[in-house]
Structure 1
């Protein structure tokens, strides 16, 4: 628990570092341009398609008709934009997470290592391509879990539990792997992720709830839908900043535990030596006899 709290405050302090702020803006450029392009070309067509689908379903048609009968017909025009945003924002968040894993995560790990763990040996346990495949695989699993669990979101308590839990698991798997990929061997990484599974999952869940907070920027007020393209960009930036904080938190915690793991194991092996080592005591050579006088 002490290490969790210490890593939390260190990660929060690092978020004020100019380099971290700049790195949080870089992924925003990609996702912001993509959101603007998609919004320009597909926003109206997406709204038309969603409205047509809603009108085609008898259940939603009855619900929308009931809204008009009670004088809340204005809400009818907000349903389709809300659905489009609910589908677009998670897709942009997933893209942002991949960009963070590929662009920001290595640089943030280097920042933490240079400033706090300069003496920690880099053993290059995992190549870059394996990290990319690992991130893609975990992301696909998380997306599948989100899609499968969507019907359960209609149950009020579960909608507050399932998405942050899935995002937390994804953050735990991806960011723990990337935080240890450069410094730890494969065996060290597997041991740390096994022994510290619950603390790492806890970090992921906390950051998952933090990642859900930016969605309130546009979800709490329907009036903000007028600024939907801007809100998507702002939400993605907030998500990216949360991801940067998450990466720093995982980096501080994982590298500190890696340092502690090596401190517990390596001094013993250094003193005892390899089990098959044979120590041969050398006898100093006898100096030659002095010549007779």
Structure 2
């Protein structure tokens, strides 16, 4: 747990450096423009499509008999929001992971790990593939988990667990791509995989905090860079992670 808190604190310190602040809003702004634009043109079609699915479900007959058709319309709109909002968040994270991370890694490494050897086990294509695969798995899990939102406690628990998966999957590869060999990358994931999930879950909680969630994509990236480079340093030196 100490390593996780250490990464969170170091990431917070790095976040407020001028060079990192200049990156903060770009992933969120680009994702908002993309999905806001798509919603502007296709929102009615999306809601109508979901409404059609509900109309073909058995529950629609029940609602119709009890003059509650408005519930189906409200449900279609709610489902559309529940799909589009996560897509916006995921898009912002993907932009940060694939586009901003190389610059962020260089920034952190020069300041905190200036002597760390570069073994370049990762590639740009590997980063893109890792990001797309992670987003695909996340999307499938999100859709499968949608029914759980009907049960109060799960509406808070499910997003955190899914965020934990997505965060560690998107950012661990790019955090180590320049410095670790392929063998070292696998070793770091094996020895610290559980803690990467915990770190991702804690960072996922920030998405519920207004305004702070605007900083989230870059902050998550910085946290994983600090955590993963510290783990790589510990692996290479054979000693515990420095506090």
CA distance in 1 between counterparts of 2:22 and 2:229 reads: 23
Are 2:100 and 1:126 aligned?
Answer: no
C-alpha distance in structure 2 between counterparts of 1:76 and 1:101, whole Å? 37
Aligned twin of 1:20: 20
> How far is 1:180 from its partner?
0.8
- The answer (yes or no) to whether the contact 2:7–2:223 under 8 Å persists in 1 is yes
Q: Distance in 2 between matches of 1:6 and 1:136?
A: 29
The match for 2:89 is 93
Q: Residues 135-214 of structure 1 correspond to what in structure 2 (within 5 A)?
A: 135-213=131-209
C-alpha deviation, 1:48, in angstroms: 4.1
CA contact 1:125–1:181 (8 Å) conserved in 2: yes
Structure 1 residues 60-139: aligned runs within 5 Å:
60=60, 62-63=62-63, 79-139=75-135
Partner residue, 2:234:
260
* Structure 2 SS opposite 1:124: coil
Structure 2 CA distance, aligned partners of 1:36 and 1:142?
A: 21
Quick check: 1:31–1:96 contact (8 Å CA) kept in 2? yes
1:231-260 Cα offsets, whole Å, 9 max, x none, are xxxxxx865521211111111111112122
Deviation digits for residues 31-86 of structure 1 (CA, Å, limit 9, x no counterpart): 22212321221123334444455456552565588697xxxx99887544333211
Which residue of the partner structure matches residue 284 of structure 1?
Answer: none
Cα distance in structure 1, aligned partners of 2:197 and 2:50? 36
**Structure 2 vs 1, CA of residues 212 and 258 (structure 1 numbering), >3 Å: closer, same or farther?**
same
Within 2, Cα distance between the matches of 1:204 and 1:67?
44
Which residue in the other structure is 1:46 paired with?
46
Give the TM-score normalised by structure 1: 0.71
Aligned equivalent of 1:225? none
Question: Helix, strand or coil for the counterpart of 1:184?
Answer: coil
TM-score w.r.t. length of structure 2:
0.84
Structure 1 pair 92–59 and aligned structure 2 pair: CA distance change class (3 A): same
Q: Secondary structure at the match of 1:118?
A: coil
RMSD between superposed Cα atoms in Å: 2.8
Query: Alignment partner of 1:191: what SS?
Result: helix
Cα 1:77–1:123 shift into 2, 3 Å: same
Specify the structure having the higher radius of gyration (Cα).
Answer: 1
Partners in 2 of 1:38 and 1:198 — Cα distance?
37
